[in-house]
């Protein structure tokens, strides 16, 4: 049975329920299986040995998700190649690919969790009422430990970019 966390976040001021466990700083980062823009499977293990910035967004095509992905794309471009960045949503890979092309996103790789929702469920970010991912930021170290985590309390708000980037810089 899937764990439910009622009222863990709000969406437009209304409490919603997150499905899955709460992944905390210091925990081993759960594996997941999502697909890239070419429909190829991608999981945490595919970037082992690197520092991972993993962001979750409800939909890449909305203003806050757009701004967040562009900001992290710009910031990750300034970091060493030892950092890999993923933005995960339930948008279809075709829509993600089109959005990335239009937005000039090259450093952040978009992944779709539409097939199995394993990222959403394993990281406790699937919003039960909306069947979308909550907005979150994880920094995972080279040994698969969660070094930083922010689950944005109000899904329509932006994350703390400076804190996430500072966590990455401590690891590289």
Per DSSP, the three-state class of 56 is strand
How many CA atoms within 13 Å lie on the side-chain side of 149? Answer: 16
The DSSP bridge pattern shows strands 51-56 and 83-89 to be parallel
Q: Spell out the per-residue pLDDT of the chain, length 172, in tens.
A: 789 999 999 999 999 999 999 999 999 999 999 999 999 999 999 999 999 999 999 999 899 999 999 999 999 999 999 999 999 999 999 999 999 999 999 999 999 999 999 999 999 999 999 999 999 999 999 999 999 999 999 999 999 999 999 999 999 9
Could you report the per-residue pLDDT of 142-170, keeping only the tens digit for each?
999 999 999 999 999 999 999 999 999 99
Q: Where are the alpha helices (DSSP H) in 28-92?
A: 63-76
Could you report the per-residue pLDDT of 32-41, keeping only the tens digit for each?
999 999 999 9
Query: What pLDDT, on the 0 to 100 scale, is given for residue 68?
Result: 96
Per DSSP, the three-state class of 93 is helix
**Catalytic sites, residue numbers:** 65
CA distances from 16 to 74, 114, 129, 130 (A): 31, 20, 7, 9
Taking the chain, what is the end-to-end CA distance rounded to the nearest angstrom? 38
Query: What pLDDT, on the 0 to 100 scale, is given for residue 67?
Result: 96
Query: What pLDDT, on the 0 to 100 scale, is given for residue 1?
Result: 77
Which two tokens mark 103? 């937005």
Model pTM greater than 0.75? yes
Query: What pLDDT, on the 0 to 100 scale, is given for residue 2?
Result: 84
Q: Quote the radius of gyration of the chain (alpha carbons, Å).
A: 15
CATH number for the domain formed by residue range(s) 4-8+46-171: 3.40.30.10
Domain ranges within the chain, ordered by starting residue: 4-8+46-171
Burial class (CB in 10 A: 0-12, 13-18, 19+), 66: middle
Place of tokens 């949503």: 89
């Amino acid at each position: 049975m899937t764990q439910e966390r009622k009222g863990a976040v709000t969406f437009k001021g209304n409490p919603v329920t997150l499905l899955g466990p709460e992944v905390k700083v210091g925990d081993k980062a759960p594996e997941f299986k999502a697909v890239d823009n070419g429909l190829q499977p991608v999981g945490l293990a595919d970037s082992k040995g690197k520092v991972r910035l993993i962001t979750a967004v409800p939909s890449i095509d909305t203003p806050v998700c757009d701004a967040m992905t562009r900001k992290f794309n710009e910031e990750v471009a300034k970091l060493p190649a030892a950092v890999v960045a993923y933005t995960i949503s339930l948008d279809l890979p075709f829509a993600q690919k089109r959005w990335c092309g239009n937005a000039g996103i090259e450093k952040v790789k978009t992944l779709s969790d539409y097939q199995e929702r394993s990222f959403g469920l394993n990281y406790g970010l699937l919003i039960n009422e909306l069947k979308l991912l909550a907005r979150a930021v994880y920094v995972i170290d080279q040994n698969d430990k969660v070094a930083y985590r922010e689950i944005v309390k109000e899904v329509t708000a932006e994350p703390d970019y400076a804190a996430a980037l500072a966590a990455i810089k401590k690891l590289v």
